[in-house]
């Protein structure tokens, strides 16, 4: 039986009830899964939570758990905030999410194989040719950088919302360099260190196996000419200047593999080595954590290293995961066709929903929503991290006119979506606990054997501003420890 919120002395005192809140229903009752957690928080008291939040910030800053965010128009490094109130996902929800994302992963990798080969889905008229050829993430030079039979996307990140219908829907697919896996692991460890009243909690899945399952997926991506029975994996990073450098080092440590930079690489098409701690180490698989597609296009971090990686990939002596060119599959316009891919490649019905999308490069779709743009969310097709997202209802008249002009000048650069008022969750603010919007980033790992694993860890991101809908870390959002219940 759900109990009512203690509006006199409890930590949820005065908490505004809402139909989309995950912990408190619209009648002010605590939802069943949260009863014991809220009781533990009540026992601790709001002052203890405030102290814990300060200690979390101190600890995470000292450990270098940071992210680069746009603060007042300037990119600055700051601690990746962790709200002390955990978020719970039921076993039933986690089962449904996992099944839907495993299916989606298989379809997206099938699409990548197809468009970098015969492009049969385009030939059959299911996806227009311009949606592929004009996509900024489509890199023809990446065509032969992954052998048939190995997924081009080994590590995938999916952003999900808990919609008003009560169902989970995918908002975005991330197949290039998805971040967050290491931060989710760090969230559990740091939260446990300052919130003893909540940890360990019986029935919560542990993220401790993330390193092992990630290493298994990367190992399965071994190149055709690998000479070692146990392939040597390394994390390829551009170093501390990368906004997710902390995660690069954490995941490397969890896997027991080195972090290398392009300047550390040497060799030729017959094999690549890296200098690690003064030693020369032969490398078979590189877990690429550089920015989007430097190996094939864009500003070269190291032209010699880029050429070396391309030649070795084509010769089958090294694998780069994720393979460059995956942006064609996580483009915002391509997103509109993922359910079509599931039916076309798998012969299945989608197991998880998505958000209705208008691809404005299509004149008919643009005309259909031209007058409704102020009611919609407008996104650049190749954007990431929330950059360039325009939420019509939150914009001033002047901003709306600027949006209309930008879209009219180049409609092919944008998509439009309905505004979804997704779920909220109790979050610590200076005034006490208040509802803040949350999304969920879940990861899938695709092996060369066709097996897709969804590791038992997820990153909840929270909009720290009242009524804010942008939860991205790079846009000033925070995070929560996510409890996946058994």
Render pLDDT for 234-289 as a digit per residue (tens, 0 to 9).
Answer: 999 988 888 889 999 999 999 999 999 998 999 999 999 999 999 999 999 999 99
* Whole-prediction pTM: 0.91
For a pLDDT cut of 70, what percent of the chain falls above it?
91
Encode 311-343 in three state secondary structure. Answer: HHHHHCCCEEECCCCCHHHHCHHHHCCHHHHHH
pLDDT tens-place string over residues 407-425: 999 998 899 988 888 899 9
Residue 45 above 70 pLDDT?
yes
Neighbours of 301 (CB within 10 A): 18
CATH no. of 356-418: 3.30.1490.270
pLDDT of residue 8: 44
Q: Is the pLDDT of residue 477 over 80?
A: no
Mean model confidence pLDDT for the chain:
90
pLDDT over 60 (residue 185) = yes
> How does residue 211 score in pLDDT terms, banded at 50, 70 and 90?
very high
How far is it, in rounded angstroms, from Cα 245 to Cα 75? 15
pLDDT in tens, 288-338: 998 755 665 545 456 788 889 999 999 999 999 999 999 999 988 999 999
Radius of gyration of the chain (CA): 23
Domain ranges of the chain: 88-348+422-484, 356-418
CA atoms within 13 A on the CB side of 415: 23
Nearest to 340 by CA among 115, 163, 152, 127: 127
């Amino acid at each position: 039986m759900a109990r009512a919120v203690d509006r006199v002395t409890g930590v949820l005192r005065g908490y505004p009830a809402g139909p989309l809140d995950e912990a408190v229903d619209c009648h002010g009752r605590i939802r069943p899964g949260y009863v014991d957690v809220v009781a533990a928080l009540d026992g601790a008291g709001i002052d203890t939570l405030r102290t814990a939040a300060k200690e979390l910030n101190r600890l995470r800053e000292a450990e270098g758990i940071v992210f680069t965010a746009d603060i007042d128009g300037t990119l600055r490094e700051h601690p990746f905030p962790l709200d002390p109130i955990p978020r719970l996902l039921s076993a039933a929800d986690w089962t449904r999410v996992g099944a839907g994302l495993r299916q989606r992963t298989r379809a997206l990798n099938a699409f990548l194989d197809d468009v970098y080969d015969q492009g049969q889905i385009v030939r059959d008229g299911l996806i227009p040719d311009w949606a592929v050829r004009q996509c900024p993430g489509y890199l023809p030079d990446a065509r032969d950088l992954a052998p048939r039979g190995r997924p081009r996307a080994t590590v995938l990140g999916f952003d999900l919302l808990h919609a008003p219908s009560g169902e989970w829907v995918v908002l975005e697919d991330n197949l290039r360099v998805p971040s967050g896996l290491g931060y989710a692991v760090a969230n559990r460890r740091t939260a446990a260190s300052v919130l003893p009243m909540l940890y360990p909690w019986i029935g919560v899945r542990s993220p401790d196996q993330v390193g092992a399952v990630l290493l298994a997926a990367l190992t399965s991506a071994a190149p055709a000419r690998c000479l070692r029975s146990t392939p040597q994996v390394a994390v390829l990073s551009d170093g501390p200047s990368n906004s997710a450098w902390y995660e690069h080092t954490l995941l490397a440590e969890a896997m027991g593999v080195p972090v290398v930079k392009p300047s550390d690489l040497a060799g030729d098409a017959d094999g690549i080595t890296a200098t690690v701690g003064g030693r020369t180490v032969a490398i078979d698989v590189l877990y690429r954590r550089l920015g989007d597609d430097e190996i094939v296009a864009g500003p070269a971090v190291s032209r010699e290293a880029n050429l070396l990686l391309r030649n070795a990939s084509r010769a089958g002596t090294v694998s780069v995961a994720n393979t460059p060119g995956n942006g064609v599959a996580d483009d915002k316009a391509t997103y509109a066709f993922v359910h079509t891919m599931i039916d076309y490649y798998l012969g299945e019905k989608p197991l998880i929903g998505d958000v209705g999308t208008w691809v404005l490069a299509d004149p008919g779709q643009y005309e259909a929503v031209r007058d409704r743009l102020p009611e919609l969310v407008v996104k650049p097709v190749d954007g990431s991290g929330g950059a360039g997202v325009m939420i019509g209802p939150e914009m001033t008249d002047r901003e709306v006119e600027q949006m209309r002009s930008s879209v009219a000048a180049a409609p092919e650069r944008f998509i439009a979506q309905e505004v979804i008022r997704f779920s909220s969750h109790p979050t610590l603010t200076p005034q006490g606990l208040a509802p803040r919007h949350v999304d969920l980033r879940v990861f899938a790992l695709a092996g060369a054997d066709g097996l897709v694993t969804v590791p038992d860890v997820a990153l909840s991101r929270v909009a720290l501003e009242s009524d804010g809908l942008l939860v991205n870390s790079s846009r000033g959002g925070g995070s929560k420890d996510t409890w996946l219940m058994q």
